[in-house]
Amino acid sequence: MANTLNKVNSGGIEDGSIINADVKSDAAIAFSKLQDVSATDRILGRDSSGAGDIEEITPANVRTMLNVEDGADVTDATNVAAAGGILKTTVDAKGDILAATADNTVARLAVGTNDKVLTADSSEATGLKWATVSSSDTLSNRNLIINGDCQINQRHGVGGNVTGLTNGAADYGADRWQIKITNPSGGTWAFNHTDTSYEAGGFRRSVQLALTGTAQATSAAETMIYIRHTVEAKNAVRLAWGSSGKKTMTLSFWMNCNVAGDGQVNIQHGEVNKRVSGTYTYSSAGSWEKKTITFPASDDEINNDTGVGFRVEWVVCAGADAKTGSVQTSWATPAEGDRGAGQTINIATTVGHKFAITGVQLEEGSTATEFERLDYGTNLLQCLRYYYKINADDQGDLGVASGWCRDTEKCHGNINFPIPMRINPSSMETTGTAGDYAVAHKTSGPIGQAVPTFDSATQYSASLVLQVTGNPFTAGECGRIQKQTNSAFLAWNAEY
């Protein structure tokens, strides 16, 4: 008979006597027919090494197999931490993030308020903090300083200097950078435009004040020498000073000096007689160091016009009269004794000592962000609003203005500015040498050499006149005013 046990002996059913096919139903052998489990809390399996019979496994053995301790609780913070996990209760608000506070240590960083960005800050436990930046949407156009990397130097050319400066000097070096000298002790100074190897921070150029003559062991009491940058009111109004939304601003810059010590930077309001100051410490003489100062917002409004919004001044040397007071870190009516109260750096004691700055950025908020690097063309356009010089270091015999001959001795020319200037220029700069300029008339070569003179100007264009003697021109005909030498130039100034 098929599918019947074919061999039973006193020892039981032999191995292999029953095969799967002999069991007709999946439920043919009930659980009750199996060997009893010896106690509660047992699992059938095999805990012994290797293959072999089925065994009962105790809870302790199961935990060992699963590498779980007795009483383990997945909601217990200690257990979770021991397992390298993080509880969801670590965060409790939308936008919270997790950040490390140390090796293998995680903490909650609460979400920042609207329009804040996450920035690195080593003073914080997590190394991060929420901060306000110049713009809620983008970091572009945040620098209130024009030519902060000192790339543009229209007046003197790359590496060009202003030398022989003495008491009363107020000259410009690189575009937008002015030196102011009150130094009756007799020092002689140079305002340089450096072009050497890359400075720290990746800057190639800087403005530099150097003492070139007459060292002063003790400067006259009224000495006050500083580098100044003026911010136009139209650019400064975004700070919303005088309103409920008024904004602080943060200044950052790189500096190098022969003398270590403390330095002071002053902000002079352009609309009211108020000033605020900040200080920094320069530690390693002869090395480039980055400095950061945050200034409070002002309660006084800035007019939306082309006037002075405010002026930033880096004190270089200060006499005793400027140190009788204290550093005013809140806006206050200026006192001369406060102007250099925090200044110990003094390069006037040794001929050859220098003070240089570059990478200057002034932006909204209390955080100094990475310097905003502009392409050269954009940087130049910003500078052209305040000063425009044509044909410097260019070839001779080059036309600078097309015009017409009003009579037989005057040629009038017109020049369009590349962008509107801040104000209507009231004068024109030239070399002052007649041989540097001439008029090309009809088919003849240059005739009528003379120094062009200023006629009139708007923000958009200027007219000039070249007047000679001897009646070389024909009234009513065209003429071209041109430069005759490489050094010839024309320039218009709309600075403050």
The CATH number of residue 252's host domain is 2.60.120.260
pLDDT value of residue 69: 78
Give residue 58's domain range. Answer: 41-69
Instruction: Please indicate, yes or no, whether residues 122 and 267 belong to a single structural domain of this protein.
Output: no
Residue 166 included in any domain: yes
The token pair that represents 188 in the structure block: 């002689």
Query: What 3-state DSSP class applies to 197?
Result: strand
Positions of E strands within 135-260: 162-165, 178-182, 188-199, 203-213, 224-232, 249-257
Q: What is the mean pLDDT of residues 261-288?
A: 98
Q: What is the mean pLDDT of residues 315-338?
A: 98
pTM of the model: 0.74
* Residue 426 backbone phi and psi in degrees, to 5: -105, 0
Instruction: Please indicate, yes or no, whether residues 345 and 268 belong to a single structural domain of this protein.
Output: yes
Residue 347 included in any domain: yes
Instruction: Please indicate, yes or no, whether residues 373 and 473 belong to a single structural domain of this protein.
Output: no
Residue 341 included in any domain: yes
Instruction: Please indicate, yes or no, whether residues 405 and 298 belong to a single structural domain of this protein.
Output: no
Positions of E strands within 241-302: 249-257, 261-269, 275-282, 289-295
Residue 27 included in any domain: no
Instruction: Please indicate, yes or no, whether residues 404 and 479 belong to a single structural domain of this protein.
Output: yes
Pick 23 or 304 by higher pLDDT: 304
Pick 266 or 100 by higher pLDDT: 266
Residue 474 included in any domain: yes
Q: What is the pLDDT of residues 3-39, one digit of tens each?
A: 555 555 556 666 556 666 666 666 667 767 778 888 9
Instruction: Please indicate, yes or no, whether residues 242 and 319 belong to a single structural domain of this protein.
Output: yes
Q: Work out how many domains the chain is built from and give that number.
A: 4
Give CA–CA dist 466/94, Å, rounded.
Answer: 72
User: Picking from 1-5, 122-126, 152-156, 477-481, which range would have the lowest pLDDT averaged per residue?
Assistant: 1-5
Instruction: Please indicate, yes or no, whether residues 282 and 410 belong to a single structural domain of this protein.
Output: no
pLDDT value of residue 1: 43
Sign of the dihedral through C-alpha 203, 206, 212, 214 = negative
Residue 87 included in any domain: no
Instruction: Please indicate, yes or no, whether residues 368 and 443 belong to a single structural domain of this protein.
Output: no
Residue 151 included in any domain: no
Give CA–CA dist 478/466, Å, rounded.
Answer: 13
Give the CATH number of the domain where residue 432 resides.
Answer: 2.60.40
Is 298 in contact with 323 (CB distance < 8 Å)?
no
Instruction: Please indicate, yes or no, whether residues 450 and 400 belong to a single structural domain of this protein.
Output: yes
Instruction: Please indicate, yes or no, whether residues 291 and 439 belong to a single structural domain of this protein.
Output: no
What amino acid is encoded at 259 in this protein?
V
Q: How far out from the chain centre does Cα 409 lie?
A: 54
Best CA proximity match to 316, nearest among 340, 290, 283, 287: 340
Residue 8 included in any domain: no
Instruction: Please indicate, yes or no, whether residues 188 and 329 belong to a single structural domain of this protein.
Output: yes
Best CA proximity match to 236, nearest among 175, 177, 152, 295: 295
Q: What is the mean pLDDT of the chain?
A: 89
Is 246 in contact with 297 (CB distance < 8 Å)?
yes
- Which of 111, 132, 153 delimits the end of a domain? 132
pLDDT value of residue 14: 63
Instruction: Please indicate, yes or no, whether residues 229 and 327 belong to a single structural domain of this protein.
Output: yes
